[in-house]
Amino acid sequence: MGERKSGKQPAKKPVQKTGVTLSDIAKAMGLSAMTVSRAFTGSEQISEKTKQEVLKTAKELGYVPNRWARSLVTRRSSIIGVLIPEISHTYFAEVTCGVEEIVDKTGFDLLLCHSRGDAEKERAEIHMLIGTRADGLIIASVQDSKTERPFTELEDAGIPFVLVDRFFPNRRFSSVLVDDLEVGEIATNHLIDMGHRLIAHIQGPPVTPAVLRRRGYLTAMKAHGLPVDKDWMIGKDFSNQNGYVSMRKLLQLKPRPTAVFAANDPLAIGAVRACREAGFRVPEDISVVGAGSIEGDHNPNPFLTTVWWPNQEMGRAAAELLMKAIADSDGGETHIRTFAPKLLVRHSSGPAPAK
Question: What average pLDDT does the segment 192-214 reach?
Answer: 96
Buried b / exposed e along 142-165 (16+ C-beta atoms within 10 A): bbebeebebbeebbeeebbbbbbb
pTM recorded for the entire structure: 0.78
Which secondary-structure segment (H or E) carries 84?
Answer: strand 79-84
Task: Count the Cβ atoms, other than its own, within 10 Å of residue 106.
Answer: 14
Alpha-carbon gap, residue 309 to 183, rounded angstroms: 9
Write down the pLDDT at residue 313. Answer: 97
Nearest to 335 by CA among 192, 167, 190: 167
296: left (phi over 0), alpha (psi -120 to 50) or beta: left
Alpha-carbon gap, residue 345 to 307, rounded angstroms: 8
Alpha-carbon gap, residue 98 to 319, rounded angstroms: 8
Q: Helix crossing, 48-61 with 22-29: angle to 10°? A: 110
Write down the pLDDT at residue 160. Answer: 94
Asked if pLDDT for residue 197 goes beyond 70, the answer is yes
Asked if pLDDT for residue 66 goes beyond 70, the answer is no
Write down the pLDDT at residue 70. Answer: 54
* 312 Cβ contact partners less than 8 Å away, ≥ 6 residues apart: 94, 95, 97, 98, 101
Domains of the chain (ranges; CATH) run 22-65 (1.10.260.40), 79-176+310-340 (3.40.50.2300), 180-309 (3.40.50.2300)
* 69 Cβ contact partners less than 8 Å away, ≥ 6 residues apart: none
% of the chain surpassing 70 pLDDT: 89
Write down the pLDDT at residue 1. Answer: 40
Question: What average pLDDT does the segment 134-154 reach?
Answer: 92
Average pLDDT value over all residues in the chain: 88
Write down the pLDDT at residue 13. Answer: 40
Asked if pLDDT for residue 72 goes beyond 50, the answer is no
Write down the pLDDT at residue 301. Answer: 86
